[in-house]
Amino acid sequence: MDQGTRYDVLIIGAGVVGNAIARELSKYKLKIGVLEKELDVGMGTSSRNSGVIHSGIHYKPGTLRAKLNVLGNSMFERLCRELKVKMSYIGKLTVAQEDSEIKSLYELKEQGEANGVPGLQILKRDEMEKLQPGVGGILALYSPSTGIVCPYTFTIRLAESAFRNGVSFWLGKKVVAIEKRFDTFLVKTQDGETFTSRVLINSAGLYSDQICRLLGIEEYKIYPCRGEYLILDKRLGHHLKTLVYPAPHHGKAGLGIHLTKTVDGNILIGPSNEYVNSPEEYATTREIMEVLLKEGKELLPDLETSDVIRSFCGLRAKQTPPEVGGFRDFVIEHRKEIKGFINLLGIESPGLTSAPAIALTVKDLLEEVLTLEEREDFLSELPGFTGYFSELSYEEKMDLISKEKDYGQIVCRCEGITKKEVIDAIQNPLGVKTLSSLRYRARVMMGRCQGGFCLPRIVEILTKEFGFRPEDFLLHREGSYLFTGNVR
């Protein structure tokens, strides 16, 4: 077997969880590989969520979810600084509409405090109004440590940082068979390749039960539960100063449909809550879109139908079937009977928030198998600047354009994305060459015209400057070709 495929640690799944683990472990002297079935990292749940860094008030004290949420939240600021990812602690109001809901606010506060959530306060109307003008309700719980982050930028940057520190990313490699021979895992991918490792980490998200089954572990089953969203034009972004959630209704799962602001200033309406049959059921539906629009219009009176930019959905990796509902705690375990197999399963919300803390937990479990030795040459920082060129000051922009004229050429008019940013995205360190990889990295084709204007320009850049032929263009997945050839 050739050297290139033998690892100390193999990670299955390059979502936020797999990538956070890869980056954490890249601080040690280990040979690490990540196997991902899609052509880019973060194409599963990690790019399809609300992007909220939860405070940790919602989970029962003593659970992994509570503990890892609060710890993860506290790690975000530094991590985002190192990875040059935009984030902001914009805070959250959980609002009671009627007297019957007040009790639940105090319960949440108590629970949050038991979990170690900092700064929780019960606010009266006038104080609520100061934080969010026009907010309804009679009383609110304020959690200042709730934040927002762009979930796919965060996921991608974790991978890029891990890559910079020597982790290999194998994209388009779906794991289809696993065998354990003595102390070595033999991991086969769909294209017939075999990778080996001493430690195998399952962070396959919605497919983590299937990975378990490949190893003969039958006790888990994942029930995908869809959450649909609408993304709204930035025009409305100024309405939300902080996040506003309804108080929990007793006996109801999910956090309720609400508005969330993204770090880029758009508003999300959602998510809905429907169990679906397969982990690939990423279709949005007319019924839910209509409900979301209606509820959105109630929450934002000046919302017009034309403000909807796009709909999308994500799937929650639930461990409970529809008839049971509710939540179960994260599974994070070292399977002693299959020594070296670290299993992560049911990482639904707050999985994004918890990812950095999950990575630390996995590191501890790893020490049961391997001795870890820190590297002196770990690079914590990624190069570049945080955010987008368009967000810099006039002087900073002038300075950058004088060094690099492509910063002066705007390719995406809606978001003001420059040619330099597009070219950097095309030349991304992981070598991903799909159009969606450019969307997620450079934010092109993401604005109100959804690529109406910039897609032809990006096609031109890829054709003229990178030698793409029409047949080379893929949207996101294998088989998602854009063009059928030349016209003549």
Ligand X SMILES: Cc1cc2nc3c(=O)[nH]c(=O)nc-3n(C[C@H](O)[C@H](O)[C@H](O)COP(=O)(O)OP(=O)(O)OC[C@H]3O[C@@H](n4cnc5c(N)ncnc54)[C@H](O)[C@@H]3O)c2cc1C
Interaction mask 254-283, another protein, x per CB under 8 A: --------------------------x-xx
∠ Cα 215 365 194 (to 5°): 40
Residues 6 or more apart whose CB falls under 8 angstroms from that of 431 comprise none
Q: Binding of another protein at residue 391 (CB under 8 A)? A: no
Residues 6 or more apart whose CB falls under 8 angstroms from that of 423 comprise 406, 461, 465
Question: Taking CB under 8 A as the criterion, which residues in 440-479 touch another protein?
Answer: 448-453, 455-456, 459-460, 463, 470, 474-479
- Closer of 353 and 418 to another protein (Cβ): 418
Q: Which of 306, 323, 373, 374 binds another protein (CB under 8 A)?
A: 306
Residue 37: which of ligand X, another protein, none does it interact with, CB under 5 to 8 A by kind? ligand X
Q: Binding of ligand X at residue 157 (CB under 6 A)? A: no
Count of residues interacting with ligand X (CB under 6 A)? 40
Pairing of strands 308-318, 175-181: unpaired
CA–CA gap between residue 470 and residue 288 (Å, rounded): 36
Q: Binding of ligand X at residue 316 (CB under 6 A)? A: yes
Which residue's CB comes closest to ligand X?
A: 351
Burial of 434 (0-12, 13-18, 19+ CB in 10 A): buried
Residue 146: which of ligand X, another protein, none does it interact with, CB under 5 to 8 A by kind? none
- 271: helix, coil or strand? coil
Q: Which of 409, 431, 465, 466 binds another protein (CB under 8 A)?
A: 409
Tell me the residue type at 159.
Answer: A
CA–CA gap between residue 140 and residue 50 (Å, rounded): 21
Q: Binding of ligand X at residue 314 (CB under 6 A)? A: yes
- Closer of 114 and 177 to ligand X (Cβ): 177
Q: How many CB atoms sit inside 10 A of residue 423's CB?
A: 18
Residue 231: which of another protein, ligand X, none does it interact with, CB under 5 to 8 A by kind? another protein
Whether 178 and 35 have beta carbons less than 8 Å apart is answered as no
* Residue 334 annotated as catalytic: no
Residue 410: which of ligand X, another protein, none does it interact with, CB under 5 to 8 A by kind? another protein
Pairing of strands 32-36, 417-418: unpaired
- Distance of closest approach, residue 146 Cβ to ligand X, in angstroms: 10
Whether 351 and 45 have beta carbons less than 8 Å apart is answered as yes
Q: Which of 237, 331, 413, 472 binds another protein (CB under 8 A)?
A: 413
The answer to whether the bond into 248 is cis (omega within 30° of 0) is no
- Distance of closest approach, residue 228 Cβ to ligand X, in angstroms: 8
- Distance of closest approach, residue 227 Cβ to another protein, in angstroms: 15
Please list the active-site residues.
Answer: 54
